[in-house]
Amino acid sequence: MGAFKSLVGKTFGRLTVIDIDYEKTKYGRYYYKCLCSCGNYTSVSSSHLITGHTQSCGCLNKEIVSEMVSGRTRKQNEIMLYEDAGFGIGFFNNSDNFFLFDIEDVDVVKSRCWYDGGGYARSRIRKDDENDEAFLHRSIISKYSGKINEEVDHINNFTYDNRKVNLRECDRSQNIKNTNRTTNTGIRYISFDKSSNKYVFQIDNERKKFNNLEECVEYSEEYLSNHPDPFRYDHKRDIRNKECNIPTIKNEIIVPFRNIE
C-alpha cells in the first residue's frame, strides 16, 4: 500500500501549495489550496500539480494566449524530421517541452504556430474578431476523419505525442478512463471508506465493499481480468515516468511503443 505524501509547501510552476482543500477532497482524490505568484488563490487536484497540467491560477495561460493572439510569438515552430523513423519533433516557443508528429502530418504542424498550453500542443489566432482555437492532436485526426473537435485520446498518456499510432477517436467517458487517478490506498480503483470502515472497489458502474484489503484486491483483479476495456488506464502504456527527452525518444519510447498491444 502506498503511503500518503503531502504536497504542502511544495512549488509547482507559479503555484505554492498552502494546505489541503478538505471541502473538495473526496473519494481518495486530493485537492490543494495554492497561492499563485500573481497573488490569486486557487484549488488544484494533486494529479494536475504533479503532472504539470496546472501551473498557475490561469494567469499563465492568459499571458500565453495574449501573446499568441497579438502575434508577438506567432513564428512557426522549429521542427526536426527523422525520415528513417517516420516522425518529427516540434519545439514550442513558450516552453522547453517538445511534441511529436508523423512526417506525413508536417503540413498540419506548419499550418499554425503551436504553443505549450495545459500539457497539449495548442494554437489560438484572432480571426474575424473571434478566437480560432485548435489542438494539434484533434487537428491531425480531423485531417483524416473530416470531423471537428471530437474527443481524441492519447493512448500512452504522453499528451505531446501526436503520432497517429498514439491517437484514437473516443467519446468523453472513454477519454476520462485513460487517466491515472490516485486513491487513498495507493491502489487503483480501491479506496478506504472511513464512514463504514471498509475497503471499496469502484469502477464504471461496479461498486463493492469488503472488510479487508486482501479480499478487495482479489476481487479487483478478477473483475478487471473478466471485463477488459481497451480505454482503461494501463501503467504499461504510460510513458510519462520515462525520461522523455530527445536522445531517448527514438530508442526507448517510439520503437517499444509500437509493440505494445
Confidence band (pLDDT; 50, 70, 90) for 128?
low
Q: For residue 259, tell me if it sits in a domain.
A: no
69 with 167, same domain?
yes
36 with 106, same domain?
no
| Inter-residue long-range contacts of 232-241, CB under 8 Å, 24+ positions, other chains counted | 232/177, 232/178, 233/157, 233/177, 233/178, 233/179, 233/180, 233/181, 233/188, 235/180, 236/260, 237/155, 237/156, 237/157, 238/156, 238/157, 238/180, 239/156, 239/157, 239/158, 239/161, 240/51, 240/157, 240/158
**Which residue range(s) make up the domain with 192?**
182-226
Last residue of a domain, one of 154, 174, 194: 174
157 with 100, same domain?
yes
92 with 138, same domain?
yes
75 with 97, same domain?
yes
Please tell me the distance from the alpha carbon of residue 35 to that of residue 49, in angstroms, as a whole number: 13
User: What is the per-residue pLDDT for 103?
Assistant: 92
User: What is the per-residue pLDDT for 13?
Assistant: 87
72 with 113, same domain?
yes
> For the purposes of burial, counting CB atoms within 10 Å of the CB of 135, is it exposed (0-12), middle (13-18) or buried (19 or more)?
buried
Number of domains in the chain: 3
Confidence band (pLDDT; 50, 70, 90) for 196?
very high
Confidence band (pLDDT; 50, 70, 90) for 131?
low
Q: For residue 45, tell me if it sits in a domain.
A: yes
Last residue of a domain, one of 113, 143, 174: 174
Is pLDDT above 90 for 245? no
User: Which CATH number fits the domain that encloses residue 77?
Assistant: 3.90.75
Q: For residue 35, tell me if it sits in a domain.
A: yes
Q: Are 179 and 172 within 8 A, CB to CB?
A: no
- Average pLDDT over all residues of the chain: 81
Span 160-178, pLDDT tens digits? 999 998 999 998 888 888 8
Q: For residue 1, tell me if it sits in a domain.
A: no
41 with 106, same domain?
no
Span 201-210, pLDDT tens digits? 998 889 999 9
Lowest mean pLDDT among 60-74, 92-106, 203-217: 60-74
What is the spatial order of strands in the sheet that 190-193 belongs to? 190-193, 198-203, 206-210
Q: For residue 240, tell me if it sits in a domain.
A: no
Please tell me the distance from the alpha carbon of residue 52 to that of residue 16, in angstroms, as a whole number: 13
Q: For residue 246, tell me if it sits in a domain.
A: no
42 with 69, same domain?
no
85 with 162, same domain?
yes
113 with 219, same domain?
no
Is pLDDT above 90 for 140? yes
Residue type at 254?
I
44 with 66, same domain?
no
Q: For residue 53, tell me if it sits in a domain.
A: yes
Residue type at 28?
G
79 with 120, same domain?
yes
Q: For residue 249, tell me if it sits in a domain.
A: no
Highest mean pLDDT among 17-31, 54-68, 154-168: 154-168
Last residue of a domain, one of 135, 156, 174: 174
Please tell me the distance from the alpha carbon of residue 200 to that of residue 115, in angstroms, as a whole number: 41
Secondary structure class of 55 (helix, strand, coil): coil
